[in-house]
């Protein structure tokens, strides 16, 4: 049985008050809170087990290396991949930039195309703009439907003879839309076009199997998965790893260095230059252990319940404009309010009631333009949120509406 109150007790910060009100944390889409197991793993690593990895023969270095490398296996199991297909990094932004610099830049020429959806996060837009600015690559955009869904056939139809990559989110950080990436990958693969999937949100809200999806790249970030900031990974197929040049140069990614030449380590170490985020990665591993113990299917079921309940309550506010209502959407809700109230003002009022939401463009300005809004408020739910917190959100929104009305 999924005992949400017992789960909440695992997160120390959820017991605190904000502005003399119990904290209702609904900013999980930006970053999730950390369970005690993660905090303890970080503390233990710094207090009793810290050393640099891969470089020493002494006890602490071996122990740190063992703990750090164990996380690669945990991520591989979490995504259904092989350990040698997991590149450890600081998060999705680094992972996508690695693909842009290491795989796409050497292959794409002026006039070659990258297909994107309009609801991508900036982390899955800006690295491709670099190629547009520097190499004349063309970005082809696919719009969302009126309900906020993304028609996979429209993405497939956008693939042409000059398409070299499809880069698409698994789950929108603004609308909660779940994208049928499996269908997109199957059609793209039939045409010889690789697909990069931004899994920053998708891996948080559902069980992921990259082999079943059929993608070439799948990026995740640790701090959204209840782990530390500065941790993450990207899955890359062996075929694509073999095609990639190193993203950064330095220690650990080399085999030999001389005055006249350099040879590189085998993947994935070839793409992991320098001293990594050792403790952050170990903390990420503890977060994955925590999620595995809960079961991602159970997490998904709990969040679907919250999504259904929140949808019902929010739709009862006829002065609230919900953005996106795609079938099967995740528990992420972006909204504006009738009248002159700005998203930042709404967020400030909600904060006075202890309710933490996001306000702004959510690093998705092309989507904001497509929706015809400058900014929205976003309430994003996680595995520890409750129906009672949905009710508190509604009460806070009603207060905000009364004040602005």
Residues in the chain: 405
Range of the domain at 300: 4-30+295-404
What 3 state SS string does 259-304 have?
CCCEEECCCCHHHCCCCCCHHHHHHHHHHHHHHHHHCHHHHHHHHH
Judgement on whether residues 204 and 351 belong to the same structural domain of the protein: no
Residue 341 is predicted with a pLDDT of: 86
Q: Write the pLDDT tens digit of every residue in 368-397.
A: 999 999 999 999 999 999 999 999 999 999
**What's the CA gap between 81 and 75, in Å, rounded?**
8
Judgement on whether residues 52 and 74 belong to the same structural domain of the protein: yes
Judgement on whether residues 303 and 254 belong to the same structural domain of the protein: no
Residue 363 annotated among the catalytic residues of the structure: yes
Show which of 293, 325, 359 is a domain's final residue: 293
- Structure-block tokens of residue 59: 């006890």
% the chain with pLDDT above 70: 100
pTM: 0.98
Judgement on whether residues 204 and 315 belong to the same structural domain of the protein: no
Show which of 274, 293, 312 is a domain's final residue: 293
Report the CATH number that the domain containing residue 49 is assigned in CATH: 3.40.640.10
Judgement on whether residues 327 and 259 belong to the same structural domain of the protein: no
Residue 339 is predicted with a pLDDT of: 80
**What's the CA gap between 343 and 320, in Å, rounded?**
12
Q: What is the phi-psi region of residue 253: left when phi exceeds 0, alpha when psi lies from -120 to 50, beta otherwise? A: alpha
Q: How far apart, in Å, are the Cα atoms of 217 and each of 84, 100, 180?
A: 13, 11, 15
Strand partners, 166: 115, 195
Q: Write the pLDDT tens digit of every residue in 360-373.
A: 999 999 999 999 99
Q: Which residues contact 171 (CB under 8 A, 6 or more apart)?
A: 177, 178, 179, 201, 202, 204, 205, 206, 330, 332
Question: Which listed residue (185, 215, 363, 377) is catalytic?
Answer: 363
Q: Write the pLDDT tens digit of every residue in 188-217.
A: 999 999 999 999 999 999 999 999 999 999
Judgement on whether residues 269 and 301 belong to the same structural domain of the protein: no
Number of domains making up the chain? 2
Show which of 293, 321, 338 is a domain's final residue: 293
Report the CATH number that the domain containing residue 397 is assigned in CATH: 3.90.1150.10
Judgement on whether residues 253 and 387 belong to the same structural domain of the protein: no
Judgement on whether residues 249 and 351 belong to the same structural domain of the protein: no
Intervals of the chain under pLDDT 50: none
Judgement on whether residues 101 and 155 belong to the same structural domain of the protein: yes
Residue 55 is predicted with a pLDDT of: 81
Judgement on whether residues 264 and 304 belong to the same structural domain of the protein: no
Judgement on whether residues 328 and 362 belong to the same structural domain of the protein: yes
Judgement on whether residues 108 and 25 belong to the same structural domain of the protein: no
């Amino acid at each position: 049985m999924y005992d949400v109150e017992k789960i909440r007790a695992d997160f120390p910060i959820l017991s605190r008050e904000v502005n003399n009100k119990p904290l209702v944390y609904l900013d999980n889409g930006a970053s999730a809170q950390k369970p005690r197991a993660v905090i303890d793993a970080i503390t233990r690593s710094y207090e009793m087990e810290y050393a640099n990895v891969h470089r020493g023969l002494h006890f602490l270095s071996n122990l740190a290396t063992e703990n750090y490398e164990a996380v690669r296996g945990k991520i591989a199991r979490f995504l259904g991949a092989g350990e040698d297909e997991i590149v450890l990094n600081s998060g999705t932004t680094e992972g996508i930039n690695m693909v842009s610099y290491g795989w796409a830049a050497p292959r794409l020429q002026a006039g070659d195309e990258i297909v994107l959806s309009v609801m991508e996060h900036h982390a899955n837009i800006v690295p491709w703009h670099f190629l547009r600015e520097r190499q004349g690559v063309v970005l082809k955009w696919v719009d969302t439907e009126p309900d906020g869904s993304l028609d996979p056939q429209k993405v497939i139809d956008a693939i042409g003879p000059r398409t070299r990559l499809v880069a698409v989110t698994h789950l929108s950080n603004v609308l909660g839309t779940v994208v049928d990436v499996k269908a997109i990958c199957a059609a793209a693969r039939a045409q010889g076009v690789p697909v990069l999937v931004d899994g920053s949100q998708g891996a948080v809200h559902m069980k992921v199997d990259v082999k079943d999806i059929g993608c070439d790249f799948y990026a995740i970030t640790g701090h959204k998965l209840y782990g530390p900031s500065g941790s993450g990974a990207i899955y890359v197929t062996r075929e694509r790893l073999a095609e990639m040049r190193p993203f950064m140069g330095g220690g650990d990614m080399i085999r030999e260095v001389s005055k006249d030449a350099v040879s590189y380590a085998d993947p994935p170490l070839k793409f992991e230059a320098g001293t990594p985020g050792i403790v952050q990665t170990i903390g990420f591993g503890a977060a994955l252990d925590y999620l595995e113990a809960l079961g991602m299917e159970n997490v998904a079921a709990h969040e679907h319940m919250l999504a259904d309940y929140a949808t019902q309550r929010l739709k009862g506010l006829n002065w609230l404009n919900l953005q996106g209502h795609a079938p099967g959407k995740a528990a992420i809700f972006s909204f504006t309010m009738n009248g002159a109230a700005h998203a930042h003002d709404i967020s400030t009022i909600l904060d006075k009631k202890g309710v933490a939401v996001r306000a702004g463009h959510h690093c998705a300005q092309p989507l904001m333009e497509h929706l015809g809004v400058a900014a929205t408020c976003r309430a994003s739910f996680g595995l520890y949120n409750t129906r009672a917190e949905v009710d508190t959100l509604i009460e806070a929104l009603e207060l905000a509406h009364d004040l602005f009305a």
